[in-house]
Amino acid sequence: MRKSIALFGTSADPPTIGHKKILEELSRIYAYTISYVSNNPKKKHIEDISIRSHLLKTLIEDIDNPKILFNQSVSSKWAIESIKKCKEIYEFNNLDFVIGSDLIKDIFYWKNFDKIILEANFFIILREGYPVESNTFKMLETYKVKFKISTIKIPDTSSSNFRLNLNCSNLPTSLIDIVKKNNLYESTKLVE
């Protein structure tokens, strides 16, 4: 297998045990996994990007795997810009853009979608309750999108679920104290 990079951008508001599992599993598949926090133009973020990137960087440092790199400099709200920056920095052409199955149907409407599919393949991680529907598969085929469906099993959790129930069991251990001490996500209401 040619050496390849997984590019895993996330809004990480906050990073959860699901993000941790994805990073760990990607490191088993790819030569390198590059991760960063971005502002998704379709989401309203609770915490500022600087806080979210600090949380993700802390999580990655805690995982302590040389194949998982945090690089906030590739961050952009536009996938095409992040992909191009990553290719420039790491000089790899074989790049898979990691995306959750909850977002895959949206890619056809992304800025510069036609350029994205020439620059990267998609690595789709299945999320509980978000199957890839047959009409999405047909569109992927129609646009000749190169993609792989992941077999990674991730916990049924998300940043939005954490924000709804504020349950610490959804957070990686390395982030709990940071969230509490800095009163992030209304941490005074956190459930142990």
Residue 67, Cα to own-chain centre: how many angstroms? 16
Helix (H) or strand (E) holding 7: strand 5-10
Q: What does the pLDDT profile of the chain (192 residues) look like in tens digits? A: 357 899 999 999 999 999 999 999 999 999 999 999 999 888 899 999 999 999 999 999 999 999 999 999 999 999 999 999 999 999 888 899 999 999 999 999 999 999 999 999 999 999 999 999 999 999 999 999 999 999 999 998 899 989 988 888 999 999 999 999 999 998 666 676
Q: Is-contact 65 30, C-beta < 8 A?
A: no
Specify the pTM. 0.94
pLDDT of residue 187: 66
Alpha-carbon distance of 85 to 82, in angstroms, equals 5
Helix 49-63 vs helix 173-181: angle between axes, to the nearest 10 degrees?
150
pLDDT of residue 188: 62
pLDDT of residue 189: 66
What does CATH list as the number for 5-156? 3.40.50.620
CA dihedral 24, 27, 32, 36 (to 10 degrees): -20
Q: For residue 13, what are the CA distances in angstroms to 91, 185, 187?
A: 29, 9, 13
Q: Is-contact 81 120, C-beta < 8 A?
A: no
Q: Is-contact 57 70, C-beta < 8 A?
A: yes
pLDDT of residue 42: 84
HEC string for 134-184: HHHHHHHHHCCCCEEECCCCCCCCCHHHHHHHCEHHHCCHHHHHHHHHCCH
Model confidence pLDDT, tens digit, residues 33-57: 999 999 988 889 999 999 999 999 9
